[in-house]
Structure 1
Amino acid sequence: MELERMAPREEWPDETEENDEKPEETPTNTCCDRFHQTISNWMLPSDLRDSYLERANCLPPPIFIILISIAELSVFIYYAVWKPQKQWITLGTGIMNSPLTYRYDKREEAWRFLSYMFVHAGVQHIIGNLFLQLLIGIPLELVHKGHRVGLVYLAGVIGGSLASSIFDPRKNLVGASGGVYALIGGYFMNVIVNFGSMVPLFGIFRILLIVLIVGTDVGFALYRRYIVHDTELQVSFVAHFAGAMAGMSIGYTVFTCFDKNLIKDPRFWICIAAYVAFLIFAALFNIFFFSAY
């Protein structure tokens, strides 16, 4: 009687089907994955994030920004220790005679138009620049790699010194603000153009953060220029402005070509042509017309 109450074999559950219905194991969401997710949210519009996350890794690491920051900090420490300062707010001793400092009376030494980025006027100056370039440069380099970030950074540095030599011709120059502002300018334009796809509230926060940072830094530059009168080296706001312009043109073009061949983008060549034309004009000005000022 017990056998009659058993269900037919056809109705028995299929063990194979049960095994097939087991959920697949999902990969673990590691700290590295969450870090890259955050980077993609800050640096890219929504339609490019998945493409970045598919190939995101820390190899190569953001080596350009890290090395340039170490070099700038090393030069600062060298001049601070080599000629001990009574205070480190302003390093007046030593850096005026540095072969790296841009000096208007030695502008024939062309390397100074680039090397001045390694020399800083004091603790506040070096900390401000290092903080900004690490905060913005590391995420940018993780997304766009070092050769692109380096191109934008150096374009801002050279553009800053050349613009200063034209519009502020009797002032010496130190600091990496031109390169830092190039990175800020490129990122700022990216946020503005892709505002709708970067979560509007989040986009507003980023814009306000950039305005706050830039306003504070420019305010410090104006303070050193017009209020502090006991220093030979004043931070040039012209270099800030020129660096930002380089970032808003070349930087914006480079940073919007995340998944594209930069060489095939006509916007890139237009920006490069305009930048080269500025370099030629600035070089001719410094060679032939500076003595008239």
Structure 2
Amino acid sequence: MRLIFYFAIFTSSIAFSKAVTCWVCSDAVSNEECHRNGDLVTCAQGQICQNEVRVIGSRMQVTKRCKQEMACKNNRMQNKMGNSQTQCDTTRRKYVCRCCCKTDECNTNALFCVEGFAESPDETPKPEGRERLFTEVEATTLKESWHILESIEDNELGLTILHRLFNDLPSIRPRFPQFVFPEAEEIDLEYMRESPEISAFANSVAIAIATVVDLLEIPDQLIDYVTLLAGEGPLRVAFENMGPALLTTIQENLEIEKDSDILRTWAKAYGIIKNTISKTMAEKSS
């Protein structure tokens, strides 16, 4: 009788351990897109809902999934792990947060466990301060053309820009003593690819440009970020000198004329970056 009693309890616990239904999507640019292109999925027994949101500037990446409960909780603990700041600090320009829950559709909101989180970039309070540096049309032109460039270059955009910079302006090479350059006058792109130091720096250049593009419509943060670049030795040198290389790379990859509106808009953007860096350096030296 006792065995039958325990068996009844065991089978009842399984019956009442209902599988949870969660939203599932991958790398959506907003919570709305996640729901538009994602699915409601019945998770496997023992799994719960997990949301992970990564933000860089105004760019958001939302991933929702079914996750084994303990694994989800371990991931969530990383919200408060880091060398000096928490990973999940929504006041920063770049952060990543994770949430867990275990009732049907409990992960509908992107970060339901984070207080004050804006569900989409459109809900972020519009900053007050400097006037817009770019018109809406200019900002759209820069963003759309940059995204096209990123897809064309297959993650080698920074390397392509640096390749042209180092070859078109060889006199700048000594200002990058951390790199080992070949004795040949022309640096081969494959040589740069195989150099871990140059490849890593090229990636930093591409990320910096992408961040500038993300901040186009937030002038205070854009100027603050470019001012920050002025304090980064190698990046500052690259940005001070890569105007022609950047514009030529854009022109050739997009196959546009030199007098096109796209190229003029990029020239304006680069001019703002370079002038801000020059102004910052002048203020530091005065």
Bucket of the pairwise TM-score, normalised by the shorter protein: under 0.3
TM-score, length basis structure 2: 0.24
- Taking structure 1 as the reference length, the TM-score comes to 0.24
Between the two structures, name the one with larger relative contact order (CA 8 Å, sep ≥ 6). 1
- Higher relative helix content: 1
Larger radius of gyration: 1
